Amino acid sequence: MAIPLRALIVEDSQNDCDLLLGVLGRGGYDVMHQRVYTAAALMSMLEEGQWDIVISDYSMPGFKGTDALTMVRKKGLDVPFVFLSGTIGEEIAVNAMRAGAQDYVIKGNAARLLPAIQRELREAEVRRERNQMKQRVRQLEKFEALGKLQVLEPKNINLNQMVTETTTLLQKTIGEQIELKMVLAPNLRITRADPSQIEQVIMNLCFNARDAMPKGGQLLIETRNVELDSHYCRRHADAQPGRHIQLSVSDTGVGMDPGTMERIFEPFFTTKEIGKGTGLGLATVLGIVKQHGGFLDVYSETGKGTAFRVYLPASEGAPEPLHHVDDALVRGGTETILVAEDHEGMREMAREILETLGYHVLLAADGEEAVHQVAAHRNDVSLVLLDVIMPQLDGVDAYEQICKAKPGVPVIFTSGYSDHGPLLASLTTKGATVLQKPYGSKVLARRVRELLDEAKVLQPSHA
């Protein structure tokens, strides 16, 4: 089976390009290529596509191969760059390698060309895997550091009220193709928990269920009182005997095989396509439940669906208000706000809240896209909303790069963990603030308006 290869060929001769494609084809590659021979055309192709390799002639009328190499490296692309030329000498070749080329091959030396390309593609894959591993280690360190610093603010809550309020917020982002059904125990006991953390558990489980039903289905949320005895606890290592509240979130989606179920709570493990999430949602859920003295189990069948059951210890006393009462008027605006959030559901929810208030919203699914969006709309963006943990580039590093294009732009970091972590504290002097996820529409609206108004006050006067 042919190996797909996206090749950007910098070559003024169509005949030489055809010869190169013939060599690659006989070497087992199915080549999708573009041929360019000017600086403008090369820049356009670098902007528009993703390439596995760049193969360039060294000397062309009006355009040098070394200029092409400089353009590729200035774009920050870690893509193999191979010179293929009939005029390159040893001294020039050495200088080209020092400038960032991976290899050079004399035209007509087909015996050396294919092994050189194969070697550079293998080494590029190794570099990508190494960089991904480093990024995951850094993200996991931040994830664990923030988790350890989390300070709960527990109160007596009625879980039915939590479910009702949270699903009202989620209704539109879950989608019309999914039927949401709730069966809530009328005499549900009280549990002592941090409302914002339990809200995050409900949201993550609902988003997970939604993602498991791309063609639609039923999402069922149930609550009930349960009494766990010693026999049950012997079969469930994390369980403790006594009265508990059970929250069940089940779907009629694709389900999971046993191998997937064994790994679903691992940080960064995900079955979603690239760009759809970091794989931290269920790890976060498990951490929160354990921190509340509870436990969680899951049952799934491939093709039939999945059910997550959360058990929280029951408590005594009357339920307390979930939120501080604040009837102040929520003001909107017309400014442009960038929302960078890897989870599609949270991203769409933030967009809907802000657009309803009149703001213009730009969206990004990861840190790299956020940096590009600010660079492209530098004069328009008035505030950025960045998730802390995202693929490609996390929120903290993304903000550092954003500040190079737009110094001092107001920022709100969103995190499911404490806003007192040292990883974020150093950024507060640059206008950063942290918003606990999940956040309600009024909380987001007020914080956005406050920061935008503060920024206007601090702007220098031109009068």
The pLDDT tens digits for 15-69 are 888 888 888 888 888 888 899 888 888 888 888 778 888 888 887 888 888 888 8
180/309 same-domain check: yes
Query: Does residue 441 lie in a domain region?
Result: yes
344/278 same-domain check: no
Out of 18-32, 96-110, 148-162, the most confident range is 18-32
For residue 86, pLDDT beyond 70 = no
Q: What does the pLDDT read at residue 382?
A: 93
* CATH label of the domain that carries residue 84: 3.40.50.2300
pLDDT band at 446 (very low <50, low <70, confident <90, very high): confident
Q: What does the pLDDT read at residue 24?
A: 86
42/110 same-domain check: yes
119/163 same-domain check: no
Range of the domain at 247: 155-315
Question: Domain end: 284, 315, 346, which one?
Answer: 315
Better-predicted residue by pLDDT, 332 or 339: 339
197: CB partners within 8 A, 6+ apart: 150, 152, 288, 291, 292, 416
Query: Does residue 288 lie in a domain region?
Result: yes
62/99 same-domain check: yes
Query: Does residue 424 lie in a domain region?
Result: yes
Closest CA to 82 of 5, 7, 2: 7
Please name the residue that has the structure tokens 């507060």.
428
413/270 same-domain check: no
For residue 360, pLDDT beyond 90 = yes
351/410 same-domain check: yes
The CA distance from 84 to 60, in Å, is: 12
Q: What does the pLDDT read at residue 463?
A: 41
What integer is the mean pLDDT of 174-189? 88
Query: Does residue 140 lie in a domain region?
Result: no
DSSP code string of 134-167: HHHHHHHHHHHHHHHT-----EEE-HHHHHHHHH
The CA distance from 343 to 8, in Å, is: 32
Instruction: Measure Cα distances from 283 to 12, 70, 286 in Å.
Output: 53, 43, 5
Q: What does the pLDDT read at residue 144?
A: 47
Query: Does residue 7 lie in a domain region?
Result: yes
pLDDT-wise least confident of 121-125, 224-228, 310-314: 121-125
Contact 353, 441 (CB under 8 A): yes
Q: What does the pLDDT read at residue 346?
A: 80
Sheet holding 3-10, edge to edge: 29-36, 3-10, 53-56, 81-85, 103-106
207/309 same-domain check: yes
What integer is the mean pLDDT of 94-114? 66
Better-predicted residue by pLDDT, 446 or 361: 361
442/393 same-domain check: yes
Question: Domain end: 79, 104, 125, which one?
Answer: 125
Chain-wide mean pLDDT for the chain? 80
* CATH label of the domain that carries residue 210: 3.30.565.10
169/210 same-domain check: yes
Contact 203, 438 (CB under 8 A): yes
Type and span of the H or E element at 47:
helix 39-48
Q: What does the pLDDT read at residue 51?
A: 87
The pLDDT tens digits for 318-332 are 888 776 545 456 788
Please name the residue that has the structure tokens 């009220």.
161
Q: What does the pLDDT read at residue 363?
A: 94
For residue 373, pLDDT beyond 90 = yes
Q: How far is CA 461 from the centre of its chain?
A: 38
Query: Does residue 132 lie in a domain region?
Result: no
DSSP code string of 430-463: GTEEEEESS--HHHHHHHHHHHHHHHHHHSPP--
Pairing assessment for the beta strands 178-184 and 217-228 based on DSSP bridges: parallel
Domain count of the fold of the chain: 3
100/182 same-domain check: no
Please name the residue that has the structure tokens 């007192």.
420
DSSP code string of 331-374: P----EEEEE-SSHHHHHHHHHHHHHTT-EEEEESSHHHHHHHH
The CA distance from 413 to 383, in Å, is: 11
Query: Does residue 9 lie in a domain region?
Result: yes
Question: Domain end: 315, 350, 374, which one?
Answer: 315
Instruction: Measure Cα distances from 43 to 47, 174, 287, 438 in Å.
Output: 6, 40, 46, 41
Better-predicted residue by pLDDT, 22 or 169: 22
The pLDDT tens digits for 192-228 are 998 878 888 888 898 888 888 988 899 999 999 999 8
What's the distance, Cα to Cα, between the start and end of the chain in Å?
Answer: 69
309/192 same-domain check: yes
Query: Does residue 330 lie in a domain region?
Result: no
Q: What does the pLDDT read at residue 324?
A: 56
pLDDT more than 90, % of the chain: 19
